[in-house]
């Protein structure tokens, strides 16, 4: 079974999308660990390692994506867990999507992405790991 961590970093209190995603992933047969609101990158990475997840999904609407994603990737490397792929979703400008992917984020899902697209991508990503 694919284990997915869904996390909401920072002060962003908008968790409806993350909760909808968590339900869709469960409906697609995945085990979901939802961290809840106001998580630090350290908390997210520690949970991912402790829970032995296959994929980390970050939902971010605060505009802090250029700080949060690099920090999560850095911490994963520091903990020798860089094999856990990271995907994200939220309102992220196209130019930032490009730079985040260059850093190692596997995919960024912006508004308009379907739940089927996201679940299919995560299933394929988990097969590759």
* Domains of the chain by residue range: 3-124
Q: Domain spanning 3-124: which CATH class is it, in words?
A: alpha beta
Query: What integer pLDDT is reported at residue 33 of this predicted model?
Result: 98
| 10-residue mean pLDDT series, the chain (129 residues) | 96 89 97 96 98 97 94 98 97 96 98 96 93
Four-residue CA torsion sign, 67, 111, 82, 23: positive
pTM of the shown model: 0.96
Q: What is the pLDDT of residue 70?
A: 98
In this prediction, residue 92 carries a pLDDT of: 95
Q: Which residues are within 8 A (CB) of 61 and not within 5 positions of it... i.e. 6 or more apart?
A: 12, 14, 17, 90, 91
Q: What is the pLDDT of residue 10?
A: 86
């Amino acid at each position: 079974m694919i284990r997915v961590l869904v996390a909401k970093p920072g002060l962003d209190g908008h968790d409806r999308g993350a909760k909808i995603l968590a339900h869709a992933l469960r409906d697609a047969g995945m085990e979901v660990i939802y961290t809840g609101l106001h998580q630090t990158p350290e908390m997210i990475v520690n949970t991912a390692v402790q829970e032995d997840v296959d994929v980390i999904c970050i939902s971010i609407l605060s505009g802090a994506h250029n700080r949060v994603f690099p920090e999560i990737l850095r911490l994963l490397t520091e903990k020798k867990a860089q094999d856990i792929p990271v995907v994200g979703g939220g309102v992220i400008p196209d130019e930032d999507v490009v730079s985040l992917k260059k850093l190692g984020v596997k995919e960024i899902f912006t508004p308009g992405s379907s739940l089927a697209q996201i679940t299919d991508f995560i299933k394929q990503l988990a097969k590759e790991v």
